[in-house]
């Protein structure tokens, strides 16, 4: 039997990159997955690949920073699949600048997507989890549920040029540790994974093409200077950046029964690199 057979997961930002890899990994182990992306096209592609793995997917396209998003995606999980067992708050992107050049818009955009959006998803799930846990306890069949929030080594140690991004990712750590304390009584483990350099479109070398992402009406420049990538590879003990599939593996570890007694922790997936 697959480790996540019968489980229902939602993964924000799962149309591309790490989020897609997470959704596919969970589906490969039997989970039915609610997929999210800003655009329906990438979300449909992930849902198609989940179907090819023999599992099921529902799609909730749209901006995770919208006030009603948390309610929408939680409701989709419960209405479509009859429950919710795994929440992965993954959606996010960097919008960088040194502090004297950083605008209020940049600051709030980073806090909204990395801190406020996960908060709203968890708030929306709270009543369902409370009621379900109470019912399961009365029936003598406690169920373990999992929350994995995605943060970054920038949120743990800071990173020049990323004041807003780092602040948002640091807030995720505080949210994670608090929810581990609040939801332990409901048999929910709440952990975070802090990624280092993972090879995605966000971290591709500048000049390799396609380095502008459309986020609403904003065009956000993506990519890293090739020299910085080379420097990072030299500093990472494993000698390279991670793949999206390796990043997904770290999240998966915190979703399976073997991690049922791990909560309130931040796991680094950085190839051994620590700033």
Active site annotation includes 93: no
pLDDT band at 204 (very low <50, low <70, confident <90, very high): confident
User: Please, what's the b/e burial string for 96-129 (b: 16 or more CB within 10 A of its CB; e: otherwise)?
Assistant: beeeeebeeebbebbbbbbbbbbbbbbebbbebb
Q: What is the pLDDT of residue 172?
A: 98
Write the pLDDT tens digit of every residue in 139-159: 999 999 999 999 999 999 999
Euclidean distance between the first and the last CA atom of the chain, given in angstroms as a whole number = 40
CATH of domain 8-194+243-269: 3.40.50.720
Write the pLDDT tens digit of every residue in 4-25: 999 999 999 999 999 999 999 9
Question: How much is the average pLDDT of 229-239?
Answer: 91
Q: What is the pLDDT of residue 226?
A: 84
Please give the share of the chain, as a percent, with pLDDT higher than 70. Answer: 98
Single out the residue of 35, 46, 32 nearest to residue 4, CA to CA: 32
Give the residue extent of every domain in the chain: 8-194+243-269
**Identified catalytic residue from 93, 108, 157, 165:** 165
pTM for the model stands at 0.94
Q: What is the pLDDT of residue 269?
A: 97
The per-type count for the chain, helices as H runs and strands as E runs, is 9, 9
For the residues of 205-268, what is the DSSP string, one character each?
BTTSS--EEEETTEEEE--B-HHHHHHHHHHSTTSSPBPHHHHHHHHHHTTSGGGTT--S-EEE
Write the pLDDT tens digit of every residue in 35-48: 999 999 999 999 99
Which residue is listed with tokens 């799962």?
14
């Amino acid at each position: 039997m697959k480790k996540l057979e019968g489980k229902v997961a939602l993964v924000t930002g799962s149309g591309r990159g790490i989020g897609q890899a997470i959704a596919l990994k969970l589906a490969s182990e039997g989970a039915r997955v609610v997929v999210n992306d800003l655009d329906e096209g990438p979300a449909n592609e992930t849902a198609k690949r989940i179907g090819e793995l023999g599992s099921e997917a529902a799609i909730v396209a749209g901006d995770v920073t919208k006030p009603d998003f948390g309610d929408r995606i939680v409701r989709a999980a419960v209405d479509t699949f009859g429950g919710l067992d795994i929440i992965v708050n993954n959606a996010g992107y960097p919008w960088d600048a040194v502090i004297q050049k950083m605008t209020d818009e940049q600051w709030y955009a980073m806090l909204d997507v990395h801190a406020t959006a996960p908060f709203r998803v968890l708030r929306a799930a709270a009543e369902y989890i409370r009621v379900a846990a109470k019912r399961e306890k009365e029936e003598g069949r406690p169920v373990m549920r999992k929350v994995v929030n995605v943060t970054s080594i920038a949120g743990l140690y800071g990173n020049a040029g990323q004041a807003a991004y780092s602040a948002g990712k640091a807030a995720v750590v505080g949210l994670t540790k608090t929810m581990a304390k609040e939801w332990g009584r409901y048999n929910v483990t709440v952990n975070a994974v802090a990624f280092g350099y993972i090879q995605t479109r966000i971290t591709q070398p500048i000049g390799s093409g396609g380095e502008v992402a459309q986020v609403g009406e904003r065009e956000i420049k993506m990519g890293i200077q090739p020299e910085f990538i080379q420097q990072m590879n030299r500093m990472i003990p494993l000698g390279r950046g991670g793949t999206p599939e390796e990043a997904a593996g770290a999240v998966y570890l915190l979703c399976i029964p073997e991690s049922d007694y791990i909560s309130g922790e931040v796991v680094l997936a950085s190839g051994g690199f620590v700033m």
